[in-house]
Structure 1
Amino acid sequence: MSDKYPDDSGRRRFVKGVVGGAALAGVGATTAAAVNTATMSSGSGGGSTAAMAIENIDGPAPRGMPQIPVEIDSEGYLKGVWPEVKTVEENGVQIQIAETENYNGSGVTYTSEWFQYCGVESYGGIDPSYESDNYFISGGAPGYTWQSDAYSEGDRLHVDDFSDYQSWSNGVGDPGLGKPATGRWRSEDAEDTIPIQVIRSEEIMEMAKDDPWVKASTQEGFVAWLDKCTHFCCVPKYKTEGSEKFNAENDVYCQCHQSVYDPFSLVETLFVARPRPSE
């Protein structure tokens, strides 16, 4: 079996041990998920899930990181859309779910189960009943220097601050591919923080012309995703220093184990979403 690490990563022998262990753990996790789904109170969600994601193109990550559909409010602030919260009956019990069928006419069912992995399934912000205005919030230690100059901790991301997206560069990779920001989502007054990343790019605008999902889930060239590596749950970053060694200077790169994601390739990914904890 060939591993997915980039050449000359210096971690190839380590990867085979980790990936092998992860594969065995995955069998147990999948079985446990099936058992939990059957035995936990209904409404916990989980199970076989199809999600739209930024594509994993290298390294040991098993799949892409799930997208968060973007909208811009009337004042220019960026929000992550949360699926429609509704009450349904399962096995005679009324439960809440977060799910939007045929999202914006794309034919895609958007559900909170996209984000139920890496422990995020236990975060307060993933519960359908969690009250949030859904804005993308800049943190106290943002991933890019420009954010530190433009925002204070707790500020909402704004369209105007990405106006130089066609020329922006941090000295990594090619300039002008897009301007990124890091932040959090649905995490105010919650115990755990849901990390997100956003990019504004001409690439996304072009993709939206011909792809129903990209048109439905992005706005004015903004694309966003839940920023948890699907390998060991690290937090990757677009245009990361040191990524050039692994030919990932224009991609989203995870420094921990060299997984690489293409933010300009949005694909369907299949996985077993973990059930949310019982209330």
Structure 2
Amino acid sequence: MPVDDDKYPTESGRRRFVKGVVGSATLASVGTGGVAALNSATAPTGAGGGIIQYLGIENTDGPAPRGMPQIPIEIDSEGFIKGVWPKPETRTVQGREITVAEMELGGETYSSEWFQYCGAQSLPGIQPAADQDNFFRSTGSPPYEWQSSTYSGGDKIHIDDFQDYESWGNGIGASGLGKPAMGTWRSEGVSPQEQIPIQVLRSKRILDKVESGEGEFAEWLRASTAEGFIAWLDKCTHFCCVPAFKAFGDSSKFGAEDRVYCQCHQSVYDPFSTIKKSFVALPRPDN
């Protein structure tokens, strides 16, 4: 094949990357028709997994099969932002004892298994009983100038640094839609390759949704967001890249300048639209 013979247009600016996660991404998008076979193939060698319902931000365009799962958040007494993690407990499933992290929140069953796809199921922080403090911490190389000048990698993300969220802009799309940050979660003391990527966004649109109390997921949003902050696991459900809200100039070519855009294959997500989906969560490797 000629060097320039690529099904993705040159103007997309997508990054070439090694698709070492193809198997994981493919399994993560398997439909329910193949669930029985998948469960029998994976359950004996791992913990958890199977058909899971979750809530996330909606996938609106591109090849991604579904939205990215939302991370419920809370703000501590000092103003630092944390992801909610259910209390782990041991259960017997199919004759095997496994540890799960699951809770009822906002009328929904929130589980650590929401995040068991795209290789995340192997990350130390996804282990239900992992010893982590759950704070969101700034990533080392964020795409936002404000974040780079405010935080060093590993610093805890604080609510005070989002005070201009109703006017913030960076020249990509419209200003005033919200202020984003890139970070990690449940990843203290692990290598960069083992960190859990997240994105957090503060927006009046989220605050208005909560205050109106309207919509199918009003109870969930009231319980899972705080002071206009919403967060999600930042792994594209297509090929596991790391998308971002208002971070890439070429997103405007695909109508995604005001949404979460993945440069790799132009998947687009709407952080202001909540969806409920089912997928096949991959089992965590046994320790």
| TM class by smaller structure | 0.7 to 0.9
Residue 271 of structure 2 is aligned to residue 263 of structure 1? yes
Which residue among 237, 241, 256 is the counterpart of 1:248? 256
Point out the structure with the larger strand share.
2
Classify the secondary structure of the residue corresponding to 1:168: coil
Paired residues of 1:33 and 1:274 also in contact (CA < 8 A): no
Q: Output the TM-score relative to the length of structure 1.
A: 0.86
Residue 3 of structure 1 corresponds to none
Shift of 1:269: 1.4
Residue 79 of structure 2 is aligned to residue 67 of structure 1? no
Long gaps (5+) in structure 2: 1-8, 13-18
Q: Which has the higher contact order (CA 8 A, sep 6+)?
A: 2
Residue 199 of structure 1 corresponds to 201
Report Cα offsets for 1:72-126 as digits up to 9, x if no partner.
000000000112211223455543210002x1xx210000010000010010000
Paired residues of 1:33 and 1:275 also in contact (CA < 8 A): no
Residue 40 of structure 2 is aligned to residue 35 of structure 1? yes
Residue 187 of structure 1 corresponds to 187
User: How much is the aligned-residue C-alpha RMSD, in angstroms?
Assistant: 2.5
Q: Comparing 116-125 with 187-196, which one deviates more in the overlay?
A: 187-196
Residue 225 of structure 1 corresponds to 232
Report Cα offsets for 1:25-59 as digits up to 9, x if no partner.
96598566312444236xx0000010110000000
Shift of 1:63: 0.1
Classify the secondary structure of the residue corresponding to 1:146: helix
Count residues with an aligned counterpart: 260
Q: Comparing 27-36 with 209-218, which one deviates more in the overlay?
A: 27-36
Which residue among 42, 51, 76 is the counterpart of 2:54? 51
Shift of 1:186: 0.6
Paired residues of 1:62 and 1:231 also in contact (CA < 8 A): yes
Report Cα offsets for 1:253-277 as digits up to 9, x if no partner.
0001000000000111111000111
Residue 126 of structure 1 corresponds to 126
Identity rate, percent = 58
Give the aligned residue type for 2:171: G
Classify the secondary structure of the residue corresponding to 2:138: coil
Paired residues of 1:9 and 1:246 also in contact (CA < 8 A): no
Paired residues of 1:115 and 1:226 also in contact (CA < 8 A): yes
The CA distance in 1 between the partners of 2:10 and 2:276, in whole Å, is 28
- Call closer, same or farther: CA 1:32–1:150 in 2, change over 3 Å: farther
